[in-house]
Amino acid sequence: MTLILNNDEIQRALDVQECLKTMEEAYREQVSSRAVNRPTSHSYLAHSLPQATYSFKSVEGGVEKFGVLALRITSDIVQEQKIGDMVRLEKLPLAGKGHFLGLLQLFSIESGELLAIMPDGLIQQTRVGVTSALGAKAMGRSNSEVLGLIGSGGQARSHFRFLTAVHPIKRVKIFSPNPDHRKKFAAEMQRETGMAAEPVGSVQEAIENCDIICTATNSSRPLIKGEWLKPGVHYNAIREFEVDESVFGKSDVVAIHTRFGGIQHHLPPGLKEDLPAIRREKPRDWSRYPEISDLLAGSVPGRTSEKQITFFLNNVGTGVQFAAMGYCTYRAAKEKGLGHEIPTDWFLQDIKP
């Protein structure tokens, strides 16, 4: 049988500590050459809306220990928008009645069968938040109590949950450009977690006197300057586009999510320039930085001094993350009796592919 889940069921299945444990196991398997990744691929076509582009994204990865391989796909219309001083890429909810399409398919590496199909929304937010939290666990000071969080969307929500689970955080300061959004977000997270959450009026106010700083936005412009980072702070960014180049030079220790490939961009041949709303990473020698898996395996230290400035860039997503969180969700959903099962035979055939 193939398990079908929705986001409500995924939320009921996921447990913060189990997510952290499972992802750490996946990274250790990766270090031991028992996991596989394929680089993220984006294919683009022109769209009729202004400053918008159709984007199809796919990435896959598998972990031997979990016995699964995951394929994540999204079918998006992405538009570049300017909000205040920020230039952001917004996915437009044009599918169905104001919805998005993103799926994770989980396959058995023993039989090749399709084990589960689930939306990618919560899985996507969770896999980024968990990885950032593991980076903060390895690189942040163990007595970190104040978190400065930039953002008030789904990624910010995930990072609030997971960063506060790996350090004794007592207070979270929150900034996003929309005052109503940040106030609402702070109130919701305080109700959910019982932790003090304070909306503030600027990026600099949000990061002042913080032990950990996190930018969790879809901004296309840098948000944090290196000169703002004080001794002892740990900074986490989820996108290269959020980061000013001065941060790399200011930081005593820099680590990244992965040196494995980059995003592969595919456009119709013959175009003389990119379609709108396409972001390309800066050419960079990622090989000079240790990965999160190196930190977790203990092959390189995360922090050797309380006064060091540390920086973790969650630079590129990988399929192994989706395999880990897909497996974590599938296992918990089966144990809790969540979701609906349909015949696996619907997806099988007697013709050799």
Taking only the tens place, the pLDDT of each residue in 289-347 is 999 999 999 999 899 999 999 999 999 899 999 999 999 999 999 999 999 999 999 99
According to CATH, what is the number of the domain 125-313? 3.40.50.720
Give the separation between CA 342 and CA 12, rounded to whole angstroms.
20
Give the separation between CA 27 and CA 108, rounded to whole angstroms.
19
Q: Of 12, 38, 25, 39, which Cα lies nearest the Cα of 67?
A: 25
Predicted local distance difference test score (pLDDT) of residue 97: 94
How would you classify the pairing of strands 86-91 and 68-83? antiparallel
SS3 readout for 75-87: EEEEEEEEECCEE
pLDDT at 114 over 80: yes
Measured CA to CA in angstroms, residue 100 lies from 46, 76, 82, 121, 332 at distances of: 18, 7, 21, 9, 25
Say whether domain 2-123+319-347 belongs to CATH 3.30.450.20: no
Give the separation between CA 297 and CA 305, rounded to whole angstroms.
19
φ/ψ (deg, to 5) at 309 = -95, 120
Taking only the tens place, the pLDDT of each residue in 69-87 is 999 999 999 999 887 777 7
User: Helix, strand or coil for residue 208?
Assistant: coil
Predicted local distance difference test score (pLDDT) of residue 262: 80
Domain extent listing, the chain: 2-123+319-347, 125-313
Q: Of 227, 222, 274, which Cα lies nearest the Cα of 249?
A: 227
Taking only the tens place, the pLDDT of each residue in 156-188 is 999 999 999 999 999 999 999 999 999 999 999
CB of 23 closer than 8 Å to CB of 324: yes
Q: What is the longest distance spanned by two Cα atoms in the chain?
A: 64
- Where residue 12 falls among pLDDT bands split at 50, 70, 90? very high
Predicted local distance difference test score (pLDDT) of residue 17: 97
Cα dihedral value 78, 83, 87, 93, nearest 10: -10
Measured CA to CA in angstroms, residue 299 lies from 31, 219, 258, 338 at distances of: 10, 33, 15, 39
- Residues of the chain with pLDDT > 90: what percent? 88
Q: Alpha helix (H) ranges present in 4-107?
A: 7-13, 16-31
- Where residue 260 falls among pLDDT bands split at 50, 70, 90? confident
User: Per the structure block, which two tokens stand in for 296?
Assistant: 């977790």
Taking only the tens place, the pLDDT of each residue in 119-149 is 999 999 999 999 999 999 999 999 999 999 9
Q: Of 179, 122, 168, which Cα lies nearest the Cα of 144?
A: 168
